[in-house]
Chain A
Amino acid sequence: MEALVHNLKLSWHSIKRAPLPYALTLLILSLGLGTFFSNATLYYWMNRDPIPEKSQTLFMVRMNSVPGDCTDCFEPPRVMSYMDMQKMSGSGITSAEAAMYSSNAYAKTVENQQATPSQVELRVTQRDFFKLFNVPFLHGETWPDNNARMEVVISKNTATKFFSRTDVVGQDMLIDDQLYKVIGVLDEWSMLPRLYDVNGSRSAEPTEDIYLPLETAYDLAIQSNTQNSFFDVDWDGDMATYPQMARTNFVNQLQFWVQLDSPEKVQQYQQYLKNLVQDEKAAGRHTRPEGNKLDNILNVQKALRATNDQLDAFALVASLFLLVCVVNASHLSLNRYMANQYEFSLRRALGASRWQLQSQIMADVLLSSVLAFVAALVFAQLGLWTINSLLPGTRALASWDWQMLSVMALFVVLISYLVTLYPALKTSFSPLNQQLKQ
């Protein structure tokens, strides 16, 4: 310990001797690391399991049963129709199931009717949604069934924003000029990545503000703002006929999620879907081959080809940039060590073994690591801020937990060591006498 303190003191001395080159080395290193970290952060959040306690049991269903003459369409559409959803519901195999889509609206409170309404993000869904994804309630609870009702569940932030408090169960809200009653307020909840909504690469966005019953949304013609595909639909666009039309045609906008608690259930459910679609085909409603998909929640990004390519590109650039920075920093660090070569040789002449020099160098690495880590975090924050302004969809991902921080710290030590390794070896192994002659 005392030796470590001594070695740190020596490192500090050597920095003080030439502070500018040292600062430059650190700057370059932490710039590279910072850029790398900001990407790694997004990458980490995008690729982690958001719900490890039950991710094995959550599946998204896609049915290959849309009309049209296509005998080699093996890939089902990403979204399904109301009719499909109806047929699928109530199988008895799932322990929770909910259809859903996203939309947006303008909301205000009844008390504050004069105010300009604020835009809110809607999740149109069914009773089991909260059970499926372990969504915590702060007040109230979910709907008792899947029927249409003018009742909403809202997020904690929404409650605070509109009512300045959280316990607002029973309060009224105007959403797109319709009056709803708040029946539940969620606790703090974010699901990262938000894998129930990967269609259109939306999984990095924050969770929604307001949760609205699916039947009500159909009644009020609230449509998906992500994907709404019409297959063979003949509709004149009269909104009064929308609820009826959307429920009886291939207006595909729903994603359907189920919880299947065992592999046997998964198999059972697959068979169930297969039978369903075959019956449809037998009834002449479609000509598609068998191609239903039951994708586990951890595979949906790949299944929907919704991986974020921009992020991948950024990651590549950041890695290359880090490489360039490391090479440059090594070069600067080599210069620094060469300038201190004299002292290293002197130490060797006074009887320091190469190993003892190594421990001096390790102290140097440690000190540099601490400084570089702090600076890299600052740059990483700046980097995240920049990326988020370029890709607004990643806002929710810009934070670190302690595990990430410790991995990053370890990485900094490793890189700092790498940067110091060659100079250190070179100085430790150079001939002794030249330097000491003056």
Chain B
Amino acid sequence: MIQINNLSKIFRTDLIETHALRQINLQVNEGEFAALTGPSGSGKSTLLNVLGTLESFDQGDYLLDGRSVKGLSDRELSALRNEKIGFIFQGFNLIKDFSLYDNIELPLRYRGFSSAERKRRVEQSLETVGLAARRDYHPSQLSGGQQQRVAIARAIAGEPRILLADEPTGNLDSLMARQVMELLEKINQQGCTILMVTHDPDQARRANRHIQIVDGQLNDSSMYEPLAAGA
């Protein structure tokens, strides 16, 4: 499903170059629930952004569904983001003056769905995250966990092939974090591939694959290992 070869990413500012990703090789298979861990600044978010095509890369190649994303036009990239990838951010990134319904509907609009189809999908994903009753609420009227569930609903409404989650529970207390994890597991069981950045060893353990990144390099020992104890 995801295949990256020798991928490098360098951030250049006037003064310094940061090698955020160094020669990374990674394959994520259909249906996997992979956890990505590593120290702060190791390049987790950068990797996720590159996978989500929110960020370009300098070297190597990235194949999504066997197709290289290099050289895709803005249109094709947007369509890719819109149809194949669901992104969940640490900070929820909901639009504050939109209702839950409108927030979830937004990416579906870019897809050009009819309003009936949009309605069906929004309602279904609200159902999935257990917030159907609050479709007209605004994000500020919800708890953090609920907001993150809305963000998840938004990410899955387009029925993406892969869900990229950057510390989805980073801002939540443990109870809410658990709810969100359970939700992600449920979504994974329905067939959606998930790659999740986390700091929480427990969460990493619950995933069926654990990838570690240190200083922009993947820890070889984690490659294709089902799940290492202790992380």
Asked if B137 is an interface residue, CB under 8 A from chain A, the answer is: no
Shortest beta-carbon contacts, A-B, top 7:
A351-B82, A438-B91, A353-B78, A350-B107, A351-B81, A432-B54, A433-B49
Whether A351 lies near B54 (C-beta < 8 A) is no
Query: How many residues of chain A get a CB closer than 8 Å to chain B's CBs?
Result: 24
14 cross-chain CB contacts under 8 A: A2-B115, A13-B98, A346-B95, A347-B106, A347-B110, A348-B81, A350-B87, A350-B110, A350-B154, A351-B81, A352-B110, A432-B54, A432-B55, A433-B49
CB of B55 within 8 A of CB of A353, answer: no
Closest to A431 in B: B55
Residue A283 CB within 8 A of the other chain: no
Which A residues contact B (CB, under 8 angstroms)?
A: 2-3, 6, 13, 16-17, 343, 346-356, 431-433, 436-438
User: Is residue B134 within 8 Å, beta carbon to beta carbon, of the partner chain?
Assistant: no
> Which residues of A have CB within 8 Å of B158?
351
B106: nearest chain-A partner, CB-CB: A350
- Is B70 part of the contact surface with A, judged by Cβ < 8 Å? no
Given contact pairs A351-B158, A353-B75, a sample of 9 additional A-B residue pairs in the complex whose CB atoms are under 8 Å apart? A2-B115, A17-B97, A346-B95, A351-B79, A351-B80, A352-B82, A354-B78, A436-B91, A437-B91
Q: How large is the interface on B (under 10, 10 to 19, 20 to 34, 35 or more residues)?
A: 20 to 34
Q: Please, which residues of chain A bring their CB within 8 A of the CB of B110? A: 347, 350-353, 356
Residues of A contacting B154 in the complex (Cβ-Cβ under 8 angstroms): 350
Whether B93 sits at the interface, judged by CB under 8 Å, is: yes
- Point out the residues of chain B lying under 8 angstroms from A2, CB to CB: 115
Name the A residues within 8 Å of B55 (CB-CB). Answer: 431-433
Rounded to whole Å, the gap between the CB of A136 and the closest CB of chain B is 57
B88-126 vs A, Cβ < 8 Å mask (1 yes, 0 no)? 011101010110000000110111000100000000000
Residues from chain A with a CB closer than 8 A to the CB of B98 are 13
Knowing A346-B93, A432-B55, A438-B91, say if A351 contacts B107 (CB, 8 Å): yes
Tell me, rounded to whole Å, the shortest Cβ–Cβ distance linking B69 to chain A.
14
Complex CA distance for A158 and B74, rounded to whole angstroms? 69
How close is A358's CB to chain B, nearest CB, in angstroms? Answer: 11
Q: How far is the CA of A13 from the CA of B110 in the complex (A)?
A: 19
The chain A residue with its CB closest to the CB of B75 is: A353
Inside 8 A of A343's CB, which chain B residues have their CB? 95
